[in-house]
Amino acid sequence: MQFKSIFYKKKKYASIPTEKAKQEIPEGLVEKCGSCGKIYYEKEWSQQLKVCPNCGTHHRLTAYERIKALIDEDSFTEWDPSMETTDPLKFPEYQEKLKKDQAKTGLKDAVVTGKGTINGYETAIVVMDPFFRMASMGAVVGEKIARALENARVEQLPMIIFTASGGARMQEGMISLMQMAKTSIAVDRFNRSGGCLINVFTHPTTGGVTASFASIGDYHFAEPKALIGFAGRRIIEQTIREKLPDDFQTAEFQLKHGQVDKVVHRHELKALLTTVLDLHQPKGRDEL
């Protein structure tokens, strides 16, 4: 044990490779698993949907990567792609941060919404993108999700939401908090019209998103080891003055504590969603 380790605690949960770590590898050729360090050709890496064949770590997907992996080719119609925040609070450094993430992701904000088919089954879909401001929820995220739920309600489509979020977006202050209300009411309206809401928790889903639409789906699936929780680990440890177990707030922990229906490997997700969509086809019910 080195002297340094007295001061620096070893991380007990999976972490995302830093920008620096990524830069060590020539881009477009190979990818390195940030968890176990094994190196893969880019092609294999994307075929594996960024799940490390060696250690099983589910690395984060961008919204479009997720859609590409799931939605039948050429069937996706995007909703509200150009919606943008106005920086309503004129919050310090927010504009710069937005511009940087917009350039990095090609997105206007942290969520992609739309509809398409999965193995032929029509569905509405919402994918939050953790590469954009950690998919925090401000006015755009809230509005796009609420509109998507309304569209799905009107078009009588099921809805699949891939959740990921650092929580409410601080830089939009109380407007962000109110998106919890907006999206939850939208879920309620969708529910009451008989809509089927399938939420898939991906790493990490926390804070105001966990405390709104993410936690009130009809079905809650989660990717292995995904962090799912309301309060942050550090805050809890400071509050209760004790060390939390390693598996605290993981998908498996939430399964054990009754917040998640099923933990699903990314490679099995499409088949599972197809089956669930099939089980909700009105045609099937008529024939019974």
Which residue ranges make up the site for other proteins (CB under 8 A)?
A: 80, 82-86, 88-89, 91-93, 138-140, 142-143, 146, 168, 170, 172-182, 184-185, 187-189, 191-192, 207-208, 210-216, 229-232, 235-236, 239-240, 242, 244, 248-249, 257-259
Determine contact, residues 235/167, Cβ cutoff 8 Å: no
Identify the CA nearest to 168 among candidates 129, 209, 199, 223.
Answer: 209
CB of 225 to other proteins, least distance (A): 16
CB of 276 vs other proteins, minimal distance in Å: 20
Distance between CA 60 and CA 132 in Å, rounded? 12
**Phi, then psi, of 60 in degrees rounded to 5:** -70, 140
Closest CB 205 distance from other proteins, rounded Å: 9
Residue 264 and residue 201: Cα distance in Å, rounded? 10
Q: Which is nearer to other proteins, 65 or 247 (CB)?
A: 247
Q: Quick one: 2 or 18, whose CB is closer to other proteins?
A: 18
Retrieve residue 264's tokens. 């699903």
Q: How many CB atoms lie under 10 A from the CB of residue 242?
A: 7
Contact 54, 138 (CB under 8 A): no
196 known ligand binder: no
Closest CA to 25 of 36, 35, 37: 37
Give the residue with the Cβ less far from other proteins, 2 or 238.
238
Element at 268 (helix H, strand E): helix 266-279
Residue spans of alpha helices (H) in 116-226: 139-155, 173-192, 207-210
**Residue (5 or 239) nearer to other proteins, CB:** 239
Residue whose C-alpha is closest to residue 171's, from 202, 132, 136: 136
Report the nearest approach of other proteins to the CB of residue 43 (Å). Answer: 37
Residue 64 or 230: which CB sits closer to other proteins?
A: 230
Task: Give least dist CB 95 to other proteins, A.
Answer: 13
- Cβ–Cβ under 8 Å, residues 197 and 220: no
Q: Cβ of residue 65: shortest distance to other proteins, in angstroms?
A: 25
- The single-letter code of the amino acid at 180 is M
Nearer to other proteins among residue 14 and residue 178 (C-beta) = 178
Instruction: Please report, in range form, the residues annotated as the binding site for Zn(2+).
Output: 33, 36, 52, 55
Instruction: Please report, in range form, the residues annotated as the binding site.
Output: 33, 36, 52, 55
